[in-house]
Structure formats: C-alpha cells, structure tokens
Structure 1
C-alpha cells in the first residue's frame, strides 16, 4: 500500500485553503516503541472531515480528525498523545505497544 506523498498532502492543503475550506495539518512529532508511522508522517484535514495522508491508521486517525476539526474551529493547536499505557490507546485501537505524539495545527 502506497501512502500519499508529502507533496500531495501539502497540495491538498493549499487547494482546500484556496477553495475557502478550513484546514488543519496533523504531524507525528515523536514515537516510542512500536508505532505504525514514523515521526514526520502527516495527515491534512479539511473542515468537512475529508483527509489525506496518515499518522497512524485505524481509529487513531478518526480521533485525530475529530481533534483537527476542533483545531480548525478554535485556531488553537493541540499536542495529542496515544500510547499503550494510556487508556485512550485501547479505545482508539493503538495496542501495538508504542506511543505516538501528534501535533495538530490550523493552516492559514
């Protein structure tokens, strides 16, 4: 499976902004242990919940999209953490034994 390239993700963000959509960018800033995607992996989300790219896969991405919609509305960035020691990890499907931190920011 080939994930979208960084250029595709950034192009989508630019196109959505030009079309008047609210946009957020989520980036994996840190991993520990087993993690589905490496640091630097990105996901771009628009205010309709459409997204491109990947920060983890599965339910974690659903949680990131939900948080990104809040960031688009508020303009306040968030640092999210999902890990096996965190009860949230099991709820969102990150039971691989690792931890990921994802920074979500609004694109202006």
Structure 2
C-alpha cells in the first residue's frame, strides 16, 4: 500500500471491513454555494467512531459520525442535509453560507 492509498478513506474502509470492523461510508453527493469539500468527498467511520477522510469539517463531521454509527447499527442508509438556512446550521458549524447533502451507508453485510 502506498502513502496515498493508505490515506484514501475508501481503501481504509475496505481494510477495516476486511479485518472484521463494522463500517459506514459518508459521501458528499450535492453542494450549493460555498462548501468546505467537493462532491465525491468521503468519510469512513467504524462502529467505534473511528474515522478517516472528510465531508465538511467542524461539527458537521461530528454529526455525520453520530448518524453513521446509527446507520451501522440499523443498516438503513440516510441522506443528511446541512446548510446555513437550517436552524441547526450554526450549531454544526456550516456557517459558510453553503449547503451540503451527505449520503451515509453501511459497507457490506
């Protein structure tokens, strides 16, 4: 494995899954206006809350990690939306004026 691939969240997620960890993948699927990460950005999360990659930054990632642990448990994927228009936008740290949608799904099983 190269340094580049070892930092790839999808490679890490695959390695975690192959080692027996429960894993979810969060993917930025849409952005509007100013967004910290582009479409296609990934965050890999295991059942213990370990993570690698980025879908936004700040508290948005904390919220995504919390939702990912629920997705791992339930097996039901979720579409999350964060934006400055949401009443929780300032709480989760997306005050840049943009909006993002993040799809979270469990890997495998």
Is the contact between residue 6 and residue 42 of structure 1 (CA under 8 Å) also seen in structure 2? no
- Consecutive unaligned residues of structure 1, counting only runs of 5 or more, are none
SS in 1 for 2:29: strand
Alpha-carbon distance between aligned partners in 2 of 1:44 and 1:26, rounded to the nearest angstrom? 6
- Consecutive unaligned residues of structure 2, counting only runs of 5 or more, are none
Q: Provide the aligned length of Structure 1 versus Structure 2.
A: 105
Alpha-carbon distance between aligned partners in 1 of 2:60 and 2:81, rounded to the nearest angstrom? 10
Is the contact between residue 63 and residue 92 of structure 2 (CA under 8 Å) also seen in structure 1? yes
Alpha-carbon distance between aligned partners in 1 of 2:86 and 2:5, rounded to the nearest angstrom? 30
Shift of 1:5: 6.2
Superposed CA RMSD in Å reads: 1.5
Query: Structure 1, residues 5-61: CA drift from partner, whole Å, max 9, x if none?
Result: 697212111111111111000000000001000111110000010000000001000
2:33 matched to which residue of 1?
A: 33
Q: TM-score scaled by structure 2?
A: 0.91
Is the contact between residue 10 and residue 42 of structure 2 (CA under 8 Å) also seen in structure 1? no
1:49 matched to which residue of 2?
A: 49
